[in-house]
Structure 1
Amino acid sequence: MNIAFEKPSLWQRLKPVLAGFDWPLLLIVTCLCAVGLAAMYSAGYDHGTRFIDQSRNMALAAIVLFTVAQIPPQRLMALAVPLYVVGVLLLVAVAIFGITKKGATRWLNVGMVIQPSEMLKIAMPLMLAWWFQRREGQLRGLDFVVAGLLLAVPVGLVMKQPDLGTSLLILSGGLYVIFFAGLSWKLIIPVLLIGAAGITAVVVSEQRICQPGLDWVVLHDYQKHRVCTLLDPTQDPLGKGFHIIQGMVAIGSGGISGKGFMKGTQTHLEFIPERTTDFVFAAFAEEFGLAGCLLLLFLFLCLIYRGLIISAQAPTLFSRLLGGSISLGFFTYVFVNMGMVSGILPVVGVPLPFISYGGTAMVTLGLGLGILMSIAKSRGLMQR
């Protein structure tokens, strides 16, 4: 008796892989990538192969997303300690054997040149989520102290490189986990008040503390210059204040509706430095105006909100903490990048997710989104 076996169709083979994917999240990310490619085409069409390379970076990030989404959160939790330990050891190796470029020692040659601090953007939330999962139901004040020490080690090593932007992202990712784990507002509010008082004091005493030759002790000279330039960019309009001034001019010149796609004069006359990377938002605002900026902000808010919804519905404490940290991590990226381009924060080299050019950053974003998809699949979230 002959038995004929029907060959499964492509959809039948893909269905198990796609089952449980959070389609609203995927739609939001697709829209952001489309906006990013449009902005990159305009800002970078005469800037080498930036548009083609960014398309390749997004394709690679999509592969990472779909691959990581197939890994259950339980297996991700098993990777937390090894990734953290390897990441910290690599940061120590950077401090000893690292490659120095433009005064910063951030890279390591391991057969190929890598930047280990990028690993900690994901490894840090993983490690702290693992720690609080282990302490679930028996949390004490000492557990938060240990979490703070686990966070302080990589942040300190990255700041020493120095790399203020990346250290800020690692710090915020860890603090989000600690906050979601139940850190008391009695401890948070005093820190916020001290921070607000410190910022106010810096602004008020700007003329005195920004005098040439004055050592800030805790900051490098270039970091001091960034803060002082932020307070008054007109002091050095053709030097360190050039980025901020031109960024603000481009944003303001966009008006309500913008100058139009590929019609940005500040962009294409090359007044905006780093127009495809850190300052791409200025180029975007000039061409698409306030309306385009509001649309972009709306998409980012939808991304963060959807990520928090996925995290809130996660089955384990580990997944909830990790997902919440990754979701608010997008907020940190957006707030810091738009803030520095708009002149309300120092320039620290933080990219705008899905809009700024960059291979490593795009892959890191794909990894974070893949973890969110993995958490969504663990609950079997379907499109609603």
Structure 2
Amino acid sequence: MTVSALTRPGERDRLIVKIGEIDWIFCLTLCLIAGAGAVMLFSIAGSSWTPWAAPHLARFALFFAIMIVLALIDLRVWFALAYPIYAVAFMLLIAVDLVGHHALGAQRWLQAGPITIQPSEIMKIGLVLALGRFYHGLSGKSAQLSWWLLVPAMLILAPVALVAKEPDLGTALLMLMTGAIVVILAGLSWRLIAGGILSVVLLVPPAIMFGMHDYQRKRLTTFLDPENDPSGSGYHILQSKIALGSGGLLGKGYGLGSQSQLNFLPEKQTDFIFSTLAEEFGFVGCASILVLYAAVIFMALRTSYLSHSHFGRLAAAGVTATFALYVLINGSMVMGLAPVVGVPMPLLSYGGTVMLTVMVGFGLVMAVRVHRYSEVTSGKGSLL
């Protein structure tokens, strides 16, 4: 007897309908980006599947399957799990502060035997879910400007402070900006937005002077004047700019990038893989990848727009904002338009943690699409 024989016809039909509701063009676009990443990782490893290209494809295949499974989960289940996921992620961040694993000069991980967890990645999803659930039951007037704003402010600032303490400034800034975008989309008053921008501008100088670690301030001064220390702190960005500029319109050719092949370009498989792409495929190759990223962002935002629930709209928009910020920050970083903060290019760069976060997030986006007509009910803006 097969498994399908044990499934009632109605359940099988509903499952087929749900699978048919998944945006498969969206899924294909994700596959194209991940495939381009594997092509680049194969090149920079000297035309070898190891140590990067094969694991990259294997991870993507696994996480793609996870994304499809998550897409079939009813939106009401995501809603019910929003606060628990946030709470678990927050407790794990506290655990990192107390007993976290040290590596590369930072304390960002929890280690249990062979398993290493980076709780800040879980929090990226938990934060979006928690904010979406909170604003789902809040009236438009309360979302604009009221004492209710203290709740999302604490939901955002508490984990951001813990992540910044690790220290992981790039992830902290990404979470802060994602949270701010969700709050703005929820209906925050434009007067308060303007006041917030002014406050940030006024707080930046003292934050740089007293709130940053020495190496973080050095990254900022390097960003402003990388030529001041070309063989030291400015080396990364200068080599990245050389790779970007030398690619020209069509690039030097596949496997012929001198900056990556001769190991002048640091972190060529992670943070600076976009520079490698520019050197080998030029402006045309970079533009093609950016078009794919733009397509993913557009389709995810369209899914957010189609949702009949406020929770679904905000959750999908928040995940999309996180993804877009990854692309924006990494692209700006490798071009010298932003300080180097260790944010990878999603699905293109090597690394399982960020890829898992992105694919779980897109599983939520697809769940919003599949269950866009679901009625999600709750009480008013309550954390209960």
TM over 0.5: yes
Name 1:118's counterpart in structure 2.
Answer: 121
Aligned 1:1-384 pairs, distance under 5 A? 15-16=16-17, 18-44=19-45, 45=47, 48-111=50-113, 112-136=115-139, 139=142, 141-193=146-198, 195=200, 216-379=209-372
Output one character per residue of 1:262-298: Cα deviation in whole Å (capped at 9) or x when no partner. 1111110111001000010100010111111111111
What SS is found at the alignment partner of 1:37?
A: helix
How far is 1:16 from its partner? 4.2
For residues 46-70 of structure 1, the C-alpha deviation after alignment (integer angstroms, 9 at most, x for no partner) is 5842011101111121011111111
CA distance in 2, matches of 1:42, 1:13: 44
Shift of 1:36: 1.8
Q: Secondary structure at the match of 1:344?
A: coil
- Once residues 242 and 142 of structure 1 are traced to their aligned partners in structure 2, the CA distance between those partners, rounded to angstroms, is 47
Distance 2:71 2:256 in 1: 39
Q: CA deviation at 1:31?
A: 2.1
Percent identity between matched residues is: 38
Separation (CA, whole Å) in 1 of partners of 2:180 and 2:228: 35
Give the whole-Å Cα distance in 1 for the aligned partners of 2:280 and 2:200. 36
The one-letter code of the counterpart of 1:236 is: D
Q: Deviations over 1:170-200 (max 9, x none)?
A: 222211210110012212234335556777x
| 1:212 matched residue in structure 2 | none
Kept in 2, the 8 Å contact 1:64–1:363? The answer is no
Q: What is the number of equivalent residue pairs in this alignment?
A: 362
Distance 1:41 1:14, change over 3 A: farther
> How many Å separate the matches in 1 of 2:362 and 2:112?
27
Q: What is the distance in 2 between the residues matched to 1:241 and 1:98?
A: 30
Q: Which runs of 4+ in 1 moved over 6 A?
A: 11-14
| Secondary structure of residue in 2 paired with 1:261 | coil
User: In the alignment, what sits opposite 2:376?
Assistant: none
User: Match of 2:312, as an amino acid?
Assistant: S
Secondary structure of the 2:341 match is coil
Structure 1: state its 5+ residue gaps: 203-214
- The answer (yes or no) to whether the contact 2:42–2:49 under 8 Å persists in 1 is no
Does the 8 A contact of 1:104 with 1:162 survive in 2?
yes
- Per the TM alignment, residue 14 of structure 1 is displaced from its structure 2 partner at its CA by 7.4
1:209 aligns with: none
- Tell me the TM-score normalised to structure 2 length: 0.88
Root-mean-square deviation (Å) = 2.5
The DSSP-based 3-state class of the residue aligned with 1:19 is: helix
What secondary structure is seen at the aligned counterpart in 2 of 1:274?
coil
Deviation at 1:328, TM superposition (A): 1.8
Give the 3-state SS of the residue equivalent to 2:108 in structure 1: strand
SS at match of 1:323: helix
Conserved 8 A contact 1:61-1:365: no
Deviations for 1:221-277, whole angstroms, at most 9, x for unmatched residues?
010010011111112111111100000000000001111111111110111001000
2: distance between equivalents of 1:158 and 1:198? 19
Would you say the 8 A contact 2:42–2:50 is kept in 1? no
Instruction: Quote the offset at 1:354 in angstroms.
Output: 1.1
> What TM-score, normalized by structure 1, do the two folds share?
0.88
Report the AA paired with residue 309 of structure 1.
R
